[in-house]
Structure 1
Amino acid sequence: MRMLVVDAFTDRPFVGNPAAVCLLDEPAEPGWMQRVAAEMKHSETAFARPIEAPDADFELRWFTPAAEVDLCGHATLATAHALFETGTAAARPIRFRTLHSGVLTVTRGHDGGLRMDFPACPTTETGPPDGLAGMLGARPLRVGRTSLGDLLVEVADEAAVRGLAPDTGALARLDVRGVIVTAAADEGREYAFVSRFFAADLLPGDHEDPVTGSAHCALGPYWGERLGRTELVGYQASARGGLVGVTLRDDRVELAGRAFTVLDGELRT
């Protein structure tokens, strides 16, 4: 079966967030999909197959090397890009049926950019867990928990976000899916806020995700309320980095970005 590796939230190779995309012709067993994801070693491997349904065109599932997840933005963007680029999907919005996040729609613009309609993930303010400042190496200003189970931590400024060297082993002991660290952007930037995302239990290597679409489902509403805006751009300041456009629409978030295919081949298994 055909498999691609696509860099998401970028228009050039080796930047943004890479995802493997497996284009299925028929249903696959979850254990097999998990083994493929472990073999690929990307933060996410997406599996898409065509379905005949009144509300959806494809079924979509996402796996990290360790577990299946409920929502993944960059792998959805990568999958839509792969379907459009290979001609598997017609030039119209793609409707993905997911297990836990409803139907997700991705539209391709005339300029090739992709826009994804996702559920918003509101944040409820909480107190910081004991020792959080030491785990992050930065003092938290505000702390909340998102509806996806992430801890969202605002720190002083962009430099604090970029300079983070967290104790990911300590973060792994927190009862959360992942940790989003964010701050308002420095004046004069093309983006409104910066962020980084860590998930020690889900992500291989240094446990940092390069660009996290699902985190922006929380970051968009959080900074939209703080800044009084409905349209923003966020920059995820990982080593690879990437820009995510965010538009707020009631209880939905539209995420915008581009993608670039770096590998197109055959999975022989």
Structure 2
Amino acid sequence: MQLPIYQLDAFTDHLFGGNPAAVVPLTSWLPDETLQAIAAENNLAETAFYIPTDSGFHIRWFTPAIEVDLCGHATLATAYVLFFVENYVGEQLSFDSRSGILNVRKEADWLILDFPVDTLHKQLLAPPALLEAFGDVTPVEIFRGKTDFMAVLENEEQVRSLQPDVIVLSTLPVRGVIVTAKGEEVDFVSRFFAPQSGIAEDPVTGSAHTTLTPYWAEKLGKTELNALQVSKRGGVLKTKLLNDRVEIAGQVRLYLRGTIEIA
């Protein structure tokens, strides 16, 4: 069996930036263990698989270790494949997923995700493992979302220079940990650590911005925000809060096309 595969850099306007993702188009679902094995072999933060449906497409996302409920950069990469490689006719796509219906629309070379907003709960007591992992850096505030902790730091420099103990972080019962602060040249910056999901640090995390956007929209008193994820590769995002939805816009660059050979 031969399967097409694409690798793309998401949330960037240049190659070797943003967050790499693999996209594998399918005509029908393969066994879950095969999907997981392909994702492990790719060894990227996420591999997205999709099949056509009567209403659009069904999408699933796998890290090298697990299937996840939501992934922004791999959804953005999948939309790029459909719009610009597979020549999908139209300006909007609809994906069915574990997180419900996700729409993506095209505006020139920007792709705009429409994701459900996260629900934040302030943590009055900081998780001991989080404080231990952060060492001398003490968060200003800590929140718990549906799948992640979010730690707010004092400034951008703290976010950039943070070197958490990912082994200790991996003991927290969440998908990952978002670290954020007000930006110097943008509205806010962030990083995302997810050793629980097999990813020490994710270069750019679209889904984390469903958590970040409502927080910073309230803090800054604005609903349209410019963001940087300040990992080594870096990523540029534009977000917009729309009641219980978040629009997350980014660009994508195609890196490779290939074929998977499955006996």
One-letter code of the match for 2:80?
Answer: H
Judge conservation of contact 2:189–2:229 (CA < 8 Å) in 1: yes
Matched, 1:121 2:123: no
Could you list the runs of 5+ residues in structure 1 that have no partner in the other structure? none
Q: Which residue, out of 40, 50, 53, partners 2:52?
A: 50
Aligned ranges for residues 12-91 of structure 1 at < 5 Å? 12-53=14-55, 57-91=56-90
Deviations 1:132-175 (A, max 9, x none): 3331131110001012x200000110000000110000011111
Aligned to 1:245: 238
Aligned to 2:91: 92
Aligned to 1:7: 9
Q: Which residue, out of 225, 239, 254, partners 2:218?
A: 225
Aligned to 1:213: 206
Quick one: percent identity of the two aligned structures? 45
Distance across 2 between alignment mates of 1:151 and 1:165: 17
Judge conservation of contact 1:122–1:222 (CA < 8 Å) in 2: no
Judge conservation of contact 2:138–2:153 (CA < 8 Å) in 1: yes
Matched, 1:165 2:167: no
Judge conservation of contact 2:130–2:172 (CA < 8 Å) in 1: no
Deviations 1:245-265 (A, max 9, x none): 110000000000000000011
Deviations 1:53-81 (A, max 9, x none): 3xxx1110000000000000000000000
One-letter code of the match for 1:9?
Answer: F
Judge conservation of contact 1:195–1:235 (CA < 8 Å) in 2: yes
Figure out how many residues of one structure are paired with residues of the other and give that number: 258
Q: Give the 3-state SS of the residue equivalent to 1:220 in structure 2.
A: helix
Judge conservation of contact 2:193–2:202 (CA < 8 Å) in 1: yes
Pick closer, same or farther for the CA change 1:52–1:184 going to 2, 3 Å: same
Q: Give the 3-state SS of the residue equivalent to 1:13 in structure 2.
A: coil
Per the normalisation by structure 2, the TM-score is: 0.96
Q: Give the 3-state SS of the residue equivalent to 1:27 in structure 2.
A: coil
One-letter code of the match for 1:8?
Answer: A
One-letter code of the match for 1:130?
Answer: P
1:88 shift after superposition: 4.7
Deviations 1:213-238 (A, max 9, x none): 01000000010011111000111010
Aligned to 2:109: 112
Matched, 1:199 2:199: no
Aligned to 2:254: 261
Aligned to 1:175: 173
Give the number of the structure whose residues are more often strand, by fraction.
2
Per the normalisation by structure 1, the TM-score is: 0.93
Distance across 2 between alignment mates of 1:43 and 1:106: 21
Judge conservation of contact 1:9–1:257 (CA < 8 Å) in 2: yes
Runs of 4+, deviation exceeding 2 Å? 131-134
Distance across 1 between alignment mates of 2:24 and 2:157: 38
1:113 shift after superposition: 0.6
One-letter code of the match for 1:194?
Answer: V
Could you list the runs of 5+ residues in structure 2 that have no partner in the other structure? none
1:122 shift after superposition: 2.2
Q: Give the 3-state SS of the residue equivalent to 2:17 in structure 1.
A: coil
One-letter code of the match for 1:3?
Answer: I
Q: Give the 3-state SS of the residue equivalent to 1:81 in structure 2.
A: helix
Distance across 2 between alignment mates of 1:113 and 1:217: 18
Distance across 1 between alignment mates of 2:183 and 2:111: 24
